[in-house]
Amino acid sequence: MDLHVRQDWSLSEVAHQQDISRAAVHDLVRRATQALEDFEQRLGLIAERDRRRQELDDIKRRLAALVERL
């Protein structure tokens, strides 16, 4: 998963490096992606991160407005 997604290797490159078939790499990446999506659905970590970023942006805007007023 790391080689294919983060390192941007092709499925064939990963298969060659790991000495397995391209189909096996494809299946493993698909299953890992599904597992991660299932975890996200249950835990909501990305949604929570996005909510916190939005709150931080709001705080920054409000702080900038206060600084301007001073």
Q: In b/e form, how buried is each residue of 6-17, taking b as 16+ CB within 10 angstroms?
A: eeebebeebbee
Residue 3 — very low, low, confident or very high, per pLDDT cuts 50/70/90? very high
If you ran DSSP here, which 8-state letter would residue 9 be given?
-
pTM higher than 0.85, yes or no?
no
pLDDT of residue 51: 97
26-51 per-position pLDDT tens digit = 999 999 999 999 999 999 999 999 99
In sequence order, which residues have a C-beta less than 8 Å from that of residue 39 and are 6 or more positions away? 45
Domains located in the chain, CATH noted? 2-69 (1.10.10.10)
Residue 64's pLDDT is 97
The confidence score (pLDDT) of residue 38 equals 97
